[in-house]
Amino acid sequence: MELKTDALVLRCADWRENDRIVTLLTAERGKIAATMRGVKKAGAKLNFASQPFCFAEYVLAEKGGRFTVTGASLYDGFFALREDITALYGAACVLQAADVLVYEGMDGEEFLISAVRALGKLSSGEGPSALVWYLLKTLSLAGYPVAADRCPVCGNIPSGRMRFDMDRGIFTCTDHSDGPPASGSSFLAIRAALAGEPHDDLDGNMRALRILGTYFSLKTDAELKSIGEYLRLLHPMH
């Protein structure tokens, strides 16, 4: 059986002498593990399609529930990421989040669209606001939405000192939850991202990413390992 699908390579692993196994994020079937034979040989035509960040149309042969890549047509390799170490770590967070949140056999279309869009933003230099937007989007798709609106207890918009309720994914006034302290700048960064608006405050975006990284870990029991290095590279002395 042959399957054609648009897919993004989330990760790859060497296998045997000249082969690799790739984990693909697909629209129709969520995550798929597929073998790519001979791609480690010099001059292998499909070597490009065995690399993380490759977004392509893949042709897969299925036999006995196992997949082998037999062809690929490149859409985008996001090659600019290799020229910017900070953007590369941000992009690694995108792949890691998708790898955790998407499962085999599920509808992965919105996850795929969001990941490709975020990689495009990062490779074009958009910076941390793109990663804030992506994490909010994928967490929401996975059933863990975050809100930056009125405090659910008093009905006021939190200002000044506030907290982030890790159980409910919401900001509250400082006396209305026992979540960790949160800043107004992180609230504004997340509020802007949820509204699809640009937000260039580096400090606010970094604080938002720290909150989202912790929230992601608590909800999924998985750590976004690249986010700490990404934040360090954004602002080494921060």
Between strands 55-63 and 181-182, the pairing is unpaired
Alpha-carbon distances, residue 190 vs 2, 119, 208, 216 (angstroms): 42, 19, 6, 14
Does residue 91 share a domain with residue 68? no
Work out the angle at residue 11's Cα, subtended by the Cα atoms of residues 8 and 13, and round it to the nearest 5 degrees: 135
Nearest C-alpha neighbor of 122 from the set 47, 56, 53? 53
- Asked if 134 contacts 97 with a C-beta cutoff of 8 angstroms, the reply is yes
Q: What is the CATH number of the domain that holds 47?
A: 2.40.50.140
Q: What is the DSSP string of 149-200?
A: SS-TTT-SPP-SSEEEETTTTEEEETTS--SPEE-HHHHHHHHHHHTT----
Q: Quick check: 81 and 53 in contact, CB under 8 A?
A: yes
Give me the torsion for CA of 70, 75, 80, 81, rounded to 10°.
Answer: -60
- Render pLDDT for 58-88 as a digit per residue (tens, 0 to 9): 999 988 889 999 999 999 999 999 999 999 9
CATH number at residue 130: 1.20.1440.120
> Do 161 and 56 share a structural domain?
no
Residues 50 and 12 grouped into a single domain: yes
> How many domains does one find in the chain?
2
Beta strand 66-76 with 55-63 is antiparallel
Residues 122, 67: one domain? no
Helix (H) or strand (E) holding 220: helix 202-220
Q: What's the whole-number mean pLDDT along residues 221-233?
A: 94
The reported pLDDT for the residue numbered 236 is 62
Over residues 116-147, the pLDDT tens digits come to 999 999 999 998 999 999 999 999 999 999 99
Last residue of a domain, one of 76, 99, 121: 76
Task: Give the model's pLDDT for residue 154.
Answer: 85
Quote the mean pLDDT of the chain: 93
Per-residue pLDDT band at 194 (split at 50, 70, 90): very high
Domain with 33, as residue range(s), is 2-76
Domain closes at, from 38, 56, 76:
76
Continuous H helices in 51-178: 85-101, 109-123, 128-141
Same domain, 113 and 220: yes
141 plus 40 within the same structural domain: no
Indicate the pLDDT class of residue 221, thresholds 50, 70 and 90.
Answer: very high
18 & 117 share domain: no
Is residue 161 very low, low, confident or very high in pLDDT (cuts 50, 70, 90)?
confident
The predicted-structure confidence for 199-216, as pLDDT tens digits, reads as follows 999 999 999 999 999 999
